[in-house]
Structure 1
Amino acid sequence: MEPQVYPDRSRLLPLDGALNLRDFGGYPSARGGHVRRGMLYRGGAMHLLSEAAERELAGLGIALVWDLRRRTERDDQPTRWCAAAGTELVARDHEQTPGVLAALLRDNRLEPEAARAAMIELYGVLAEVHAPSYRDIFARLLDGRVPFLLHCTAGKDRTGVGAALILSALDVPRETIVADYALTAVADFGPLLDHYAHVPPETIAPLFASEPAYIEAMFDAFDARHGGVDGFLEHELGVGEDERARLRALLVH
């Protein structure tokens, strides 16, 4: 089935200095209703936000920001606006590198096809490597910590998997989740690309792409190892039918 495309960009938050920042609500649930807008946000690093953009973001009433980056990334590109806004900022110290572009770019001679293959391989393991973070995210959502913002550096890989898991738990169809993931294609990654000027553009392109094949690789891995995304949610993240019913009550109308 072809992914359903949602061409309107009303879910994008065009704040000054924002990177791939958007609302990922509004999608239909297979059980009826739509995911509520203004409750679930996703994005990239926020260290470039202007003061005016930080004030506007703070005005959204976000209760929780979950930062999926490693400590070194957080130290280099800090998220500053949460403390003044009274927003809880949570992160997990970890050493796993999957989803960190710098790790994938250590070999700047990587051929484009090899770079694309590396991304597909990456998406086959991202959810399991970062399962402790995703498990905590769901626990906090179940505690009612919304509106919620999930982010990493590009807001694409670690964040893309997290958003896909949340939408899956809300029974958003797989093809719609793939289409939401692909919306990252409209993001301007110029501020991040400046750090990789030494890497050939043809190598960079697959690493910053949001090909449907990437997130499909995550679903394929769930099918192969967990009997589908539902099995991963229940057995690895503790999100069974009771928890999903509570999430739907909170986030679907």
Structure 2
Amino acid sequence: MPESRTYLDQPYAAVVSNTPTSDATAPRELARLASADNFRDVAGTGAGYPVAGGGRVRRGVFFRSNELQLTAADAGTLADLGIARIHDLRGQMEIDAHPDVEVPGAVWHHVEVSGIPMEMISGLEDSDAAVRVMCQVYDAFVRAPAARASYAELLTDLATGPVPQLFHCTAGKDRTGWAAALLLEIAGVDRATILDDYLLTNTFSSATRAKYLALIGEHLGADKVAVYEPTMIVEPAFLQTAYDTVTELYGSVDGYLRDGLGLSDDVVALLRSRLVD
């Protein structure tokens, strides 16, 4: 069952506002965390991504990240940003192995989405098999009832809970990447920009990826590095698989939000009002 806990025993409603940060007070430059390299603002850099019909995605409202194995300084940075709620999309085993560092003033919320099944990648023979696994993962984000329930819960809380909010998984690329793509869809960002934003993970997390690939080479052999690399990056085909499943089952992203996730028009409108200046 999802659960919540309040960091440092500070009351959830007493430390934050329900009003989104205005563009005038949002950080203009991208805050970077030394200990969480895929942390970033969903809105993008600069003034925020442009949206259909005018306006831009509002900065300083929603953030995304990889797991929060934070230094004290980086935890302080998140506290300074006013993060009110942290959504952890990881499974319990992932959380037990690497629990989030506490962030003062933030409420932690567990809303699990299944990631890459370890049993499916433990014996990969080639990179094509790894790509197939990743596409199956993205298909399940849309097709699996448990995943739909979790994404519905996440988006509802992003729409109705106090802001700013942050959501993350382990690498911050797949489960988190689909959530970020949905937010940008709701905001009205064009699909090409959403894809470019999604692919930024490959740049932001390059050092972490190199570290883990080196470990694979050391423990499994150099020939396994190329085999496992697709599981550590994002590719257009992965995201497209989720969109294709949306089209197959629901016809459109709007249909998926309404019929797949069960979100009301009011919740979607609340999200868009928070996302767009």
Structure 1 length-normalised TM: 0.85
Identity %: 36
Q: How does 1:92-103 map to 2 (within 5 A)?
A: 92=111, 97=114, 99-100=115-116, 102-103=118-119
Between the aligned partners of 2:72 and 2:166, the Cα distance in structure 1 is 18
Question: Residue 90 in 1 paired to residue 109 in 2?
Answer: yes
User: Residue 33 of structure 2 aligns to a residue in which SS?
Assistant: coil
Bigger Rg over Cα: 2
Question: Residue 209 in 1 paired to residue 233 in 2?
Answer: yes
* 1:238 to partner: Cα distance: 2.7
* 1:242 to partner: Cα distance: 3.3
Q: 1:175 aligns with which of 169, 192, 195?
A: 192
* 1:194 to partner: Cα distance: 6.4
Range that drifts further, 152-161 or 50-59: 50-59
Between the aligned partners of 2:216 and 2:243, the Cα distance in structure 1 is 30
Between the aligned partners of 2:117 and 2:68, the Cα distance in structure 1 is 17
**Aligned residue number for residue 160 of structure 1:** 177
Contact 1:101-1:207 within 8 A present in 2 as well: no
* 1:90 to partner: Cα distance: 0.5
* 1:11 to partner: Cα distance: 6.5
Q: How many residues align?
A: 237
**Aligned residue number for residue 229 of structure 1:** 253
Aligned-pair Cα RMSD in Å: 2.1
Q: Show structure 2 runs of 5+ residues with no match.
A: 1-27
User: Residue 150 of structure 1 aligns to a residue in which SS?
Assistant: strand
Q: How does 1:67-216 map to 2 (within 5 A)?
A: 67-82=88-103, 85-92=104-111, 97=114, 99-100=115-116, 102-107=118-123, 109-129=124-144, 130-186=147-203, 187=205, 188-190=207-209, 192-193=212-213, 196-197=216-217, 198-199=219-220, 200-216=224-240
**Aligned residue number for residue 58 of structure 1:** 79
User: Residue 81 of structure 1 aligns to a residue in which SS?
Assistant: coil
Contact 1:35-1:170 within 8 A present in 2 as well: yes
Question: Residue 16 in 1 paired to residue 34 in 2?
Answer: yes
* 1:251 to partner: Cα distance: 2.0
User: Residue 86 of structure 1 aligns to a residue in which SS?
Assistant: coil
Contact 1:42-1:150 within 8 A present in 2 as well: yes
Contact 2:151-2:261 within 8 A present in 1 as well: yes
Contact 1:233-1:239 within 8 A present in 2 as well: yes
